Amino acid sequence: MSLAYDIVIQGANGAKGDNGSDGQSATQNGTNGINGKYDKNDSPHCTSATNGQAGQNALAAGSGGEQGGAGASAFDFVLRCEQFVAQSPITIISQGGDGGNGGDGGNGSNGSSGGNAGQQSSKCEDSLPPALGGIGGNGSNGGNGGAGGNGGNGGDIIVSYLSASLTQPVSAQSSGGVGGVGGAAGIAGVGGTGGVNGVIDGQPPTSANDGVNGVSGTPGAPGIPGSSGSVSVKPTAQL
């Protein structure tokens, strides 16, 4: 048998995983409270201010990234011949496909702001406590990154011959594909700002608590590299 070209057996690479979708942020802030009032003709004379409404929580969290596709394993290569004729050494490479990268996790979304408190009438501040601002809405979590796909395995290479025109007619190598990279974690959503509390004379303004931030996702795990195949290139006494 006469060969004049190198031989490459390549497994297909895995596809990249799709990215996760971002979460949906709150669409509406908390409404502000209503101011209190004083009316000497009413009993009681003072009507209290109302509290601000709490902010809306984020509507949806970020979704997880998709896992990368696995690399395909390379086919085995077997060649047996009586006489191996080559002008120069032939290279045979069997290479498993690389794993696809994992998709990134979607980002979390934000909560909305709480409403501000209504203000008490100046004539009623001594008899009524200040109204409270609404707390901020909570942010949602980020999605996890998708795992990287595993690398494909290299195929086995077997070359045997009775005689050859060169001392070493074949250089052979079998390698596994590289594992895919895990996807990035989605970023946590932010809690909304707390509304302003009612004012107390002589004191600095205060606010209700902000909403709780979401939790960032976890990065995807890397794929596992493929294994190398076995390689056997040698003369033989019989085919």
- Residue-wise pLDDT for 33-48, tens only, equals 999 999 888 788 899 9
Contact 53, 92 (CB under 8 A): no
- Residue-wise pLDDT for 77-133, tens only, equals 999 999 988 888 899 999 999 999 999 999 999 999 999 999 999 888 888 999 999
| Percent above pLDDT 70 for the chain | 97
State the Cα–Cα distance between residues 184 and 101, nearest whole angstrom. Answer: 10
- State residue 181's pLDDT score: 98
Contact 62, 23 (CB under 8 A): yes
- State residue 127's pLDDT score: 87
State the Cα–Cα distance between residues 108 and 106, nearest whole angstrom. Answer: 7
